[in-house]
């Protein structure tokens, strides 16, 4: 695996691990009794699962007779889709209760850093793909 894809693979693992361990969500709704319900949209959940699957294929080898190049390309596509969703839907890992005004959801500095590193790794892979076309 090329160095760019290896960096992307490592960044993808960190991103998915962060999402799992820090309870990242992309939706918030009233949960009744003045409570809030934070959850993953179906699309966000599917993107996380798809990214995990490709990460597993890279770690363990693909299940079918796939080539290393195809797996690397699927990793790139899965990571780009996931990070695009995180940014577009303003996925969050922190909530600030503002009392009677409501709540504020936001991204912690740590989450922002993970996203930026993943985007940088994906950008480097994308630039390499453009050069080789």
Per-residue pLDDT of the chain (133 residues; tens, 9 = 90+): 588 899 999 999 999 999 999 999 999 876 666 567 788 999 999 999 999 999 999 988 765 555 557 888 999 999 999 999 999 999 999 998 887 777 889 999 999 999 999 999 999 999 887 755 5
The single residue listed with the structure tokens 């005004």 is 101
Model pTM score: 0.86
* E strands, the chain, in order: 27-32, 35-39, 94-97, 103-106
Interatomic CA distance for residues 133 and 130, integer angstroms: 5
Q: Which of 118, 8, 75 has its CA nearest to residue 66?
A: 75
Q: Where are the domains of the chain?
A: 3-128
Beta pairing class for 94-97 and 35-39 = unpaired
């Amino acid at each position: 695996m090329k160095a760019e894809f290896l960096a992307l693979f490592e960044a993808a693992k960190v991103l998915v691990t962060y999402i799992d361990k820090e309870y990242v969500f992309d939706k918030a709704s009233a949960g009744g009794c003045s409570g809030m319900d934070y959850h993953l949209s179906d699309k966000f959940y599917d993107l996380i699962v798809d990214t995990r699957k490709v990460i597993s294929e890279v770690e363990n080898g693909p299940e079918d007779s796939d080539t290393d190049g195809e797996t690397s390309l699927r990793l790139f596509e899965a990571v780009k889709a996931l990070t695009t969703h995180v940014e577009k839907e303003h996925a969050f890992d922190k909530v600030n209760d503002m009392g009677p005004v409501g709540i504020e959801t936001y991204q912690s500095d740590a989450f922002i850093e993970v996203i930026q590193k993943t985007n940088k790794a994906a950008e480097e892979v994308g630039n390499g793909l453009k050069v080789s076309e």
